[in-house]
Structure 1
Amino acid sequence: MKNSWYKEPWAWLVFILPFTAVVAGIATFIIANSAPDALVVGDYYKKGKAINLELTKVKLAQKLGMKFALQLQDNQLIIKPTGIEKKFPLLNVNFYHPTLEDKDFYLALTPDGNGYFRHKFDESITGKWRITLTSFEDTWKIQNVITLPQSQFIDLIPDPIEAN
């Protein structure tokens, strides 16, 4: 009398290998589709045109002599204009996380009596960030990559290389 097929170890080996490949394929498909990459841009041509427009804004900031100093210490952000004496009614400040889009945030800051722009964060902001400063009219732009927190003031200057 012969043994049943399920009592043979070779039969299980033959079934396990394809079954493992099917399970791994399903798991890969689920992982790949559960969190799509937010960094991929769908329309490259429009994005390229927008980059050229941004470079024009950076060059205007250079021409105007725009320069700011930034400090973030004890969750207190201070941005002060250092390049020109012009007063700004509003400063748009964007913080972009290098990899996680949901951590990006925007601040619209008004100056205090000294002309400094201040903001108190509820939580600490740490790590590497791309920070963008623009005017209320969005005519010029300064963009730099910085590491936070900063106990000393660091300069934010218009740099076309950083704008890419």
Structure 2
Amino acid sequence: MKTRWYQEPMAWLVFFLPFSAVVAGITTFIIANTDPDDLVVGDYYKKGKAINLEFGKVKQAEKLGIRFGLRFKDNELVIKPTGIEKKFPVLNVNFYHPTLAEHDFSLILTPDGNGFFRSQLENDVRGKWKITITPFENHWKIQNTISLPQSEFIDIYPKPNEAN
């Protein structure tokens, strides 16, 4: 007695393998297009020119001897100037997550009576972060990679190799 093709197990195996490859390909295509990588830069030339400008700002901070102490404990950020005795009216502080751009945030801080810059953050910030500190005029820049939280003050100072 002859069996029909759809009653043969080998026929289903022959159809299943290419069908599963098509489904996997479509799934991969959907994932690649709905969750793009934030770390990819479109115009490398412009990015390279911007990096060279950033190196100049880091070297300027190094030349001026600008240093800070940073502490982040119980969701309170405290930054105290430890380098030169110059007063800063405003500091721009940017936090960049290494892989998730939606977690990046910026703060504009003014000094308190002791000359410390303080901010109480609503979100719990933990893990590795790249932090940049610039003045209002944006003529120097300090950029370091830090791990949070920090219960003691850590030194934040210009590191030319981290200017990108």
Shorter-chain TM-score bucket reads: over 0.9
Correspondences of 1:9-158 after superposition (within 5 Å):
9-158=9-158
Distance (whole Å) between structure 1 residues aligned to residue 155 and residue 11 of structure 2: 70
Question: What's the CA shift string for 1:70-125, capped at 9, x where partnerless?
Answer: 00111111000010111111000000001000000000000001110000011221
**Structure 2: which amino acid aligns with 1:35?**
D
Distance (whole Å) between structure 1 residues aligned to residue 44 and residue 99 of structure 2: 19
**Unmatched segments (≥5 aa) in structure 1:** none
Distance (whole Å) between structure 1 residues aligned to residue 11 and residue 104 of structure 2: 54
Distance (whole Å) between structure 2 residues aligned to residue 128 and residue 37 of structure 1: 19
Moved over 6 A (4+): none
**Unmatched segments (≥5 aa) in structure 2:** none
Distance (whole Å) between structure 2 residues aligned to residue 155 and residue 102 of structure 1: 27
Identity %: 70
Q: What TM-score, normalized to structure 1?
A: 0.98
Cα deviation for residue 13 of structure 1 reads 1.3
**Structure 2: which amino acid aligns with 1:119?**
S
Distance (whole Å) between structure 2 residues aligned to residue 123 and residue 35 of structure 1: 24
Q: May I ask how many residue pairs the two structures share in their alignment?
A: 164
Q: What TM-score, normalized to structure 2?
A: 0.98
